Amino acid sequence: MTHVKLLALKFVFTLGILFIILGLGFDVSFGNVFLISLVVSALGYLGDVTILKKSNNTMATAGDFVLSFAVIYFMTDALTVGDDVFEATLISAVSLAIFEYFFHQSVARSLDQEKKENHGVRSTGQLQTEASEELFPYDEEDKEK
């Protein structure tokens, strides 16, 4: 359930940021902003969950910047007619990266909390047996009796 909440939060903030920058600043229609926000949020959240498990906040933010820049640039270029696509994309990607830096902290907290709640034993597939020299539970003297 926490993943749904975090994904919805990411989508709402991404939509708000992109609507202010692309919609109001560069006259991109709301439908196009909505579609771009949906794609950036979905791909970005998958990246957040995988990168934050293996790396840190800085790397996840840099990855989100590159992903946001690429998705916004190509989708804005494909969906709209305009000459200032690069400027709009750069401003949008930087703004989203700033938001993502703070968003990753809440994702990391929820992933840590999820680990604490799922404190069951996980099988790693590596089995090991134990062996000892003590095959008889008694002393040597008792064994002979």
Tens digit of each residue's pLDDT, the chain (145 residues): 578 888 999 999 999 999 999 999 888 899 999 999 999 999 998 988 888 888 888 898 999 999 999 999 999 989 887 778 899 999 999 999 999 999 888 877 877 776 666 666 555 667 677 766 666 666 666 656 5
3-state SS, the chain, equals CHHHHHHHHHHHHHHHHHHHHHHHHHCCCHHHHHHHHHHHHHHHHHHHHHHHHHCCHHHHHHHHHHHHHHHHHHHHHHHCCCCCHHHHHHHHHHHHHHHHHHHHHHHHHHHHHHHHHCCCCCCCCCCCCCCCCCCCCCCHHHHHC
* pLDDT tens readout for residues 11-34: 999 999 999 999 998 888 999 999
> In terms of Cα–Cα distance, which of 53, 52, 72 is closest to 62?
52
Per-residue pLDDT tens over the stretch 86-101 = 999 999 999 999 999 9
Q: Report the alpha-carbon distance of residue 106 to residue 57 in Å, rounded.
A: 11
In the chain, domain spans: 2-115
Question: How far lies 91's CA from each of 5, 72, 143, in Å?
Answer: 27, 11, 83
